[in-house]
Amino acid sequence: MTRNARNYMARIPLFAPFSPEELDALYACTYERNMTTGEMLIQRGDPGTSMMLILAGEVRVVLPGIDGNDQDLNTLREGAVFGEIALFDGKPRSADVVAATNGRLLVLERASVVRLIERDPQFAIRVIEIICMRLRTTLAQLDSILFQDVSQRVVTFLLQRSEGLERARIDTTQSALGRAVGSTRETVNRRLRDLEARGLIELTPGRITVRDRNGLSALLQGRSRMA
C-alpha cells in the first residue's frame, strides 16, 4: 500500500472529518487491489463483506435482469464508494458492480468498519448520508424511466454525467447508454445523432462530448422541441 492512498482518503467526504490518528487506524485496515475493464467486482447475492473506494477508474452498478436485459443503475467515478449498504446488515449484495475501466480500489472489510462504528457513531451517520444520497439518485433515475421518453432520458443522462467534468467528455458506448436509459442501442443512436446535428454534442467512438449544456437543458425544460 502507498501513503498516497491514505492521503487520498483524507480528501473524501466520508473520511475527511476523521482525525489523523483515526484515519491512520482506519487505513491500517485497508488494502489496495487493481481492477480490469469488465471485471465483476461484486455480484448480486454475494455476501456483503466489504466496502470499496475508487482510487482510479470507473465502475457500473447494474441490476441484472432475468432475461439478460440488465439495467444500469449508476456509474461511479474516482472518489466514490460502493458496497456500503451490506456493511450494515451483512446481507447479500443487492446489485452487480462491474469495472467500466481499468483502475484501482481501496478495500475496507466489514469487520473493521463495525469496530469503527462502535468507537465512532458519527462515522455511521456519514455512511448513512452516502446511502441516502445513493437512494435519491436511484429514485431520480426510476422517475426518469417511468415518466420521461427516451429522448428526455438521454438528455438527462448527458447532463448528469457531464456535470463538473473537464471539457464535458463522457466515455461510454451507445450500448451502455442504452442500458442506462432503458432503451436499445439503435434508438439511442438515433437520438444522439439528432443532438449532434443540432450542435449540442459531438460523437466519437466510445465517447460523447457535450458542447452545449444550456442547449440540452433547454430541450429538457421544453424550451426547444425534441425529436
The whole-number pLDDT of residue 94 equals: 81
Give the C-alpha separation, 113 to 103, whole Å: 23
Task: Give the CB-side neighbour count of residue 165, counting CA atoms within 13 A.
Answer: 18
φ/ψ of 81, rounded to 5, equals -115, 155
φ/ψ of 98, rounded to 5, equals -120, 140
What are the pLDDT digits (tens) for 94-142?
Answer: 889 999 999 999 998 888 878 877 877 777 777 777 777 767 766 766 6
The whole-number pLDDT of residue 68 equals: 66
Which stretch of 31-35, 85-89, 118-122, 218-222 has the lowest confidence by average pLDDT? 85-89
- CB–CB of 61/76 below 8 Å? yes
The CA-CA-CA angle for residues 99, 79, 106, to 5°, reads: 65
Q: List residues bridging with 207 in a β-sheet.
A: 171, 204
